[in-house]
Structure 1
Amino acid sequence: VQHIAEIPQNLKELYKTAWEISQKTIIDMSADRGAYICQSQSLNVFMENVNFAKLTSMHFHSWKAGLKTGMYYLRTKAATDAIKFTLDKSKLAEPSGKVQELEGAPSTSLRAGVQEQTSAEELAKAGIACSLDDPEGCEMCGA
């Protein structure tokens, strides 16, 4: 909302995204509430143009503030935006042409036979892997 001119400044200050809030402030608030948390808290840190110096500074500030977990997740923005494009739905509905059979390609009946054999082999292996009906035959859990 920061870039929208029609929004009053007081609302812009109230409604900020994680990228627009000072992460030093987030770390300080995390340290303040950390005294009331018996174990730890997961802290998301949002940084743009992250580099070694920024990360080191953030880690040392967290450590000096007394945080048990200085950073649980580091969120960064991508270096570039993904390409945005649309597809013409009328072009998608049109057939692109006939698919031709390749010479030397296996026939349909041969392919079906291979698929049946593969399915039967997979089914047999699945039965061996873990069958409560055959306690001696389970290799996975030793049931």
Structure 2
Amino acid sequence: AFELEPRWLIECASRRQKWIDMGQSLNLYMREPSGRKLHDMYFLAWRKGLKTTYYLRTLAATQIEKSTVDINKFGVQPRWVKSKSASSEILVNRTDDPRETGAELVPAPHISAEAKVVPVTDVSQYKACSITDPDCEACQ
């Protein structure tokens, strides 16, 4: 939704508005908000006859660390790497071998062949609600 300019969302909503009695829940998306852009956007919505706008969605000012993404792939880098004072020669080495990272392999617990078998309980002996019962007060 951030790829669309808010003025096109407002234009579409203004054309729908004449068939709607009450206001519509219009979400507006803005990649880089500023006071001037917000003023222009809301003033355009007012001039186009929109009764309401519901939410203004913006991108977060900061990004969380993506621990499942390799920063050496797809050009994804933390903000500190992109700054001018950071070295451009930083390389994060990743390995799939746990022996190289110092991690220890833990064996899976052994399940004995004599494991206790839990009997299946017959639930028909308990009172239960039936959705097909028209007199059931809980299902009405």
Question: Could you tell me the TM-score, scaled by structure 1's length?
Answer: 0.46
